Structures are given as C-alpha cells and as structure tokens.
Amino acid sequence: MPVRIVQSKQNARLKELRKALAAPGRDAHGLAGIEGPKMLEEALRGGLRVAAVFVAKGSEQLLDALRLPSSVEIVLLPRPLLDAALATETPQPVAALVEPFDWIWSDLLEPEDGRAPLIILLVGLQDPGNLGTILRSAEAFGATGVVALPGTVSAWNPKAVRASAGSVFRVPAVLASAEVCFARLREAGVQIFATTAREAEPAELANLSGPAALLIGNEGNGVPREVALRADNALTIPCPGPVESLNAAVAASVLLYEAARQRARSAR
C-alpha cells in the first residue's frame, strides 16, 4: 500500500477529509468521511471502496487487523494534525475517505431476495443520532431502504454514521423530493402510512405485511400536515404511560419491529 507522510494541514487529501466531515455528504469526488477503525472495518465489510486511510503516527498497528486493498493510499500524519481535521470531541487515530454506493429506487422497491418493500420515509428529521439509529433498526428488522425527503440531516453526518453502527454502509438510501417519492411509491403499489401520536389506527391492527412505507417526521413537529395528507392511512403506537409521544428513532424502531413480526407470521 502506498504510504504518504503528511506534515501540513494544507495537504490536499487532509483538506478533502476535513471538508467531507464538516459538510457531510459526498464531496466533488463522490467521497464521504468516516472516523475510527471500527467504522473503517464496517465500510470494508459492506464492500465500499476506500480511497484513503488517515492514521496518526504511533497507531499504525490499528490497521494490521484490517484487510485493506493494496491500492488504498495510507496517509500517515502527526496525531494533533489528524485531531484538528476530525469532528468528534474525542477524535480517534484513524479516519478514511470512502465511496458510498449509488443506491437507486429499484434497490428499495425490488430487493434481490424478493421481499415486499418496507421503506422508511424521513421528513425533516434533524437529529443525526436519530437518523443513525433508524438506519440500524432498518437493517435489523429487514427494511428494504430509507428515503430522505428535503430538510433531513445527512446520513453521512459523523454522529449518524456512528449511531448506525455500520448500517449506513449497507441499507439502501436515496434522497428525493416528496413529489418524486410519492410518485415512485404509488407506481410500485406501496401503501404509505403517516405516523401520528394519537387518533389513528393502532400499528398492530394495520396491515404492514405487504409493500409499505412509514412516514417519520421531525422530532418536534412530527409529519407535516401537507405530507401526511398524501398518505394512504395513518397509524399510531398506543402508549399506556403518561407521555405525549415517542422519540422519532424509538417510534420508527417499534413500527419496524411490528412490520417484521407481521411478515414473519404471514410467512409461516
């Protein structure tokens, strides 16, 4: 593997990493930034191409357990220089630039294993920790993908990547306008459910065993009324305790579990 020793914060690759982490998403070269050897391991396990790995001097041994392709560029630099480029309060000594998959609608609507689509629609979700947790639950409960509508935080926000525990590398996700999203889902015969805190059908009574999409809204305001009105139905999670509503990630996880439960039962 080619090793480049860097001593200046003006290094082009280091600038690329800093920008990718500060403005999450894909940079001009289609790359995203990740932090930590565990996330790098998950990216490799997920089959992502790794463009460059940054490692602090003295921590090179952390790369020994990773099966890095011989073509990967290794950038070796002083720890303070790497720390300054990273977004976390307690930076790790390893970071990388990776190339996310270009997911397309057929990945969500026509999974290779023939499952009925189960999709999470995120509407203005702002907390990256919530988004990462939803991605993790989506993978755990067999969702076929996630759609981020305008106003939703990037899945490549460093906090979202960490909260996803690697699911961000494997769960198909697309960005789309509400118009395109609803048109695609209608064409594919996917039933769209808006989620609400009250006055809706209990989730266990809704039919989530067929093609379904679950609308999850903003943490404070829920699903906007104009978006909810475009759904086919509304559902709620009955809560016997004295709370007004559930955290967005918790609500999405409960609904995904219910969908997985129904699907497992119908498959018997």
DSSP labels, 61-95: GGGTTS---TT-EEEEE-HHHHHHH--SSS--SEE
Q: Which CATH number fits domain 105-266: 3.40.50.300, 3.60.15.10, 3.40.1280.10, 3.90.1300.10?
A: 3.40.1280.10
User: Rounded distance, CA 142 to CA 51, Å?
Assistant: 30
Spans of all domains in the chain: 3-99, 105-266
Sign for the pseudo-dihedral over CA of 211, 113, 139, 90: negative
Assign 122 to helix, strand or coil.
strand
Q: Determine the pLDDT at residue 50.
A: 95
Q: Determine the pLDDT at residue 3.
A: 87
Contact 236, 203 (CB under 8 A): yes
Q: Determine the pLDDT at residue 26.
A: 58
Provide block-wise average pLDDT over 10 residues at a time, the chain (268 residues): 86 93 70 94 94 96 91 95 88 95 96 94 96 98 97 94 96 96 97 89 94 93 92 92 87 97 89
Query: 3-99 with 105-266: one CATH topology?
Result: no
Q: What is the pTM of this model?
A: 0.92
Q: Determine the pLDDT at residue 29.
A: 59
User: Rounded distance, CA 143 to CA 135, Å?
Assistant: 9
Fold classification of 3-99 (topology level): 60s Ribosomal Protein L30; Chain: A; (3.30.1330)
